[in-house]
Structure 1
Amino acid sequence: MEWVNIALPKGRLGEKVYQMFKQAGYACPAIEEENRKLVFENPEAGVRYFWVKPSDVAIYVERGAADVGVAGKDILLEYVPDVYELADLGVGKCRMCVAGKKDFRDDRSRTLRVATKFPRIARNYYSAVSRDIDIIKLNGSIELAPLLGLSDVIVDIVETGRTLIENGLEPKETIVDISARFISNKVSYKFKNDAIRRMAQCLAGLPETNQGGSV
């Protein structure tokens, strides 16, 4: 039997995405049971699922441990994995934004200090507008940086904007819209082409999904 190995992001997004796979005809009842397993198989559908940290999905797919997976566009833009992007699943929607204090005005005569978890995205964005920046890489509580004078602005994911508002910040500019993408390992796409294309087409046929991508 030819299995299609699928890396799903742990958490709410992964649970929502699994329901999409289920709707598309790739159910795996064991995944919905109360247990601590990480790998789940359904021989009838020819699928093997496993849960991984969202930021690791692209690594599993790029390295071939998974044939396909679901990763946020933010991860794909930040880490630029060598994978095919087959479809925009239309879920997990948010924006990558520049945010700062409400009274912030950019003084272009000096270097802009930017705190972010996404240095590549921030650097590419400001490079495109010829702005000198000093990247301050943080791993959490990004909103604190401008409040404590560590940075002038932040580059981060914004879903509702409530966290920003509660901390006296506001979105200044949208860099890119983010959503969950169905991705494939390049070798797997060649050797399991029929199965992966069929899966992409089934997912693309769901109401939430907009087909896109680079293949």
Structure 2
Amino acid sequence: MNKVKLAIPNGHLSKATLDTFARAGYKISGQERTYTPIINDHHIEVRVLRPQEIPNFVAEGLQDVGVTGKDWLYETGSEVDILLDMEYSQVKLVLAIPESLDGVFSLTELIQTYSEENKQLRIFTEYLTLTKNLIQNNEAYRKYYGEEELVTVTPWWKKGENSRIGVYLSFGATEAKPPMLADAIIEVVDTGTSLQQNGLKIIEVLMESTAVLIANRKSIKDQNKREKIFDIMTLLSGVVEARKKLHIFANVKRENLNVLLEKLPALRKPTICSLSDEEWVAINTIVDRTLFLELVPTLRKLAQGLVVYEPRQVLPLDTLILGGNRYD
């Protein structure tokens, strides 16, 4: 079997990614000292890369699979398959303006205000492509400028003919740019506290992003790599699913079993075992974490000896959906 080349991100995605892989059974070590850490699966080769780079490297086949953010996947426009939403590192891409700017509550209104006042609108961001697409597809932009391409600016090049609206590449500390250098920013935030501390207010959430597992489309079809990609996806999806579940055990009088099952739809298919006392049975099942508090009153009345565990993994072994295809 050829080794599967796996890219994991550094930066703010790193810790949650390593924790998720550890819960999936993959021990990755040495990432503090090298960009090629060791993993306890000799069929996998790991490389640490910036999340901004991973989509392109996976699309080009330099890496077979990788973990990145949805924001960078959409920013790069890379043609890869999303295998799994990892559901951590949840952030929002927002439009923020100085608190002193009143009467503007959306991207549409921002474009309209600056256009009608005949003022240049300068927006700083790390997401040039996303920002450009969002603006040029906006109804207000099309109303005032039609198909004219807005100006995008980096230290290396300047493109576009509509200088009335400019999108400028920011290399960090984007929230420090307004009001002297920028009229608005488009930035990824968790809580938004840093924006507030710098005198900015969020006027629109443009998209939400989480970490995702992506794969090269040719690698999925490669018989020498597909099964290992299946393994990685299955084990990681087991962790994602387990975070939403609780594993409960309880002893129930046999005469109360049907009543319990009727009142608790979440217990549709529990494992039921006889105990040494024939009047009692043990139930063993997985329930949604969000429903557990609702189940407690009924369990307290009809069951005894309730034990609750947080499962490490809940593995979907019956069906896989990989690269848009279903495998049973």
- Residues 1:113 and 1:21: Cα distance change in structure 2 (over 3 Å): same
Aligned residue for 2:185? 154
Q: Unpaired runs of 5+ in structure 1?
A: none
Contact kept in structure 2, 1:26 and 1:45, CA below 8 Å: no
Q: 1:140 aligns with which of 172, 186, 196?
A: 172
RMSD (CA atoms): 2.5
- For 1:75 and 1:212, locate their aligned partners in 2 and report how far apart those are by CA, in whole Å: 23
- Residues 1:189 and 1:123: Cα distance change in structure 2 (over 3 Å): same
- For 1:99 and 1:212, locate their aligned partners in 2 and report how far apart those are by CA, in whole Å: 38
- For 2:40 and 2:202, locate their aligned partners in 1 and report how far apart those are by CA, in whole Å: 47
Give 1:214 shift. Answer: 5.8
Contact kept in structure 1, 2:220 and 2:323, CA below 8 Å: no
TM-score (norm 2): 0.58
- 2:249 is the counterpart of 1:203: no
TM-score (norm 1): 0.86
Aligned-partner SS, 1:143: helix
Q: After the TM superposition, which of the residue ranges 15-24 and 78-87 deviates more from structure 2?
A: 15-24
- For 1:151 and 1:35, locate their aligned partners in 2 and report how far apart those are by CA, in whole Å: 36
Paired residues in the alignment total 211
| 1:45-99, Cα deviation, whole Å (9 max, x unpaired) | 5222111122122232122221100011111111111211111111111100000
Identity fraction in percent: 27
- Residues 1:88 and 1:213: Cα distance change in structure 2 (over 3 Å): farther
Contact kept in structure 1, 2:82 and 2:213, CA below 8 Å: yes
Contact kept in structure 1, 2:26 and 2:40, CA below 8 Å: no
Q: After the TM superposition, which of the residue ranges 78-87 and 50-59 deviates more from structure 2?
A: 50-59
Give 1:43 shift. Answer: 6.2
Give 1:34 shift. Answer: 7.8
- 2:127 is the counterpart of 1:118: yes
Q: Kindly report which structure 2 residues correspond to 1:44-55, keeping only aligned pairs within 5 A, or say none.
A: 44=41, 46-55=43-52
Contact kept in structure 2, 1:8 and 1:52, CA below 8 Å: yes
Return the letter of the residue paired with 2:91: C
Give 1:137 shift. Answer: 2.2
Q: Kindly report which structure 2 residues correspond to 1:39-188, keeping only aligned pairs within 5 A, or say none.
A: 39-42=36-39, 44=41, 46-104=43-101, 105=104, 106=110, 107=113, 108-109=115-116, 110=118, 112-132=121-141, 133-148=165-180, 150-188=181-219
- For 1:43 and 1:95, locate their aligned partners in 2 and report how far apart those are by CA, in whole Å: 34
Return the letter of the residue paired with 1:14: S
- For 2:236 and 2:201, locate their aligned partners in 1 and report how far apart those are by CA, in whole Å: 35
Contact kept in structure 1, 2:59 and 2:216, CA below 8 Å: yes
- 2:33 is the counterpart of 1:36: yes
- For 2:191 and 2:14, locate their aligned partners in 1 and report how far apart those are by CA, in whole Å: 19
Aligned-partner SS, 1:87: strand
- For 1:175 and 1:212, locate their aligned partners in 2 and report how far apart those are by CA, in whole Å: 28
Larger radius of gyration: 2
Aligned-partner SS, 2:25: coil
- For 1:214 and 1:98, locate their aligned partners in 2 and report how far apart those are by CA, in whole Å: 32
| 1:105-128, Cα deviation, whole Å (9 max, x unpaired) | 331414532211112111221223
- For 1:153 and 1:12, locate their aligned partners in 2 and report how far apart those are by CA, in whole Å: 24
Aligned-partner SS, 1:131: helix
Aligned-partner SS, 2:139: coil
Return the letter of the residue paired with 1:26: Y
Higher relative contact order (CA 8 A, sep 6+): 1
Q: Unpaired runs of 5+ in structure 2?
A: 105-109, 142-164, 245-319
- For 1:35 and 1:115, locate their aligned partners in 2 and report how far apart those are by CA, in whole Å: 32
